[in-house]
Amino acid sequence: MKSAYELAMERLEKAAPTQKISEEQKRAIAEIDSQFKAKTAERELFLTGQIKAARESGQYGEAESIEKQLAMEVRRLKEDCEEKKEQIRKQNP
C-alpha cells in the first residue's frame, strides 16, 4: 500500500514530469550561475563603495538612491540568469 506522500508524488509527476538534462546542460547552467555571481559581486562592490562615500559626505538621499539602483540591478541580473538557464533547460538533452 502506498503512502499519501507517494501518491501525491505520482500525481505531481503526471502533471509536471521531471525534466532530464544532460551533463553539458548542467555545465552550461553552472557557468551561467558563476557569471551571475561574479557580475552581482562586481556591482555590489562598486555601488557599496558609492553608498559609503555618499553617507560619509552626508548625502543620505543619494545613498538611498544608489541602494535602490543596486537592488534593481541585482534583480535584473537574476532575471537574466534565470531566463538563460530556462533556455538551456528547454534544449533537448
Instruction: Give the pLDDT score at 93.
Output: 61
Per the listing, cell 540591478 goes with: 73
Q: What is the mean pLDDT of the chain?
A: 91
The full DSSP string for 28-53 is HHHHHHHHHHHHHHHHHHHHHHHHHH
Indicate if the pLDDT at residue 92 is higher than 90. Answer: no
pTM over 0.85: no
Indicate if the pLDDT at residue 13 is higher than 70. Answer: yes
Instruction: Give the pLDDT score at 8.
Output: 87
Query: In terms of residue numbers, what domain contains 39?
Result: 24-90
Query: Is 68 among the domain residues?
Result: yes
Looking at per-residue pLDDT, the higher value among 5 and 93 belongs to 5
Q: Name the domain count of the chain.
A: 1
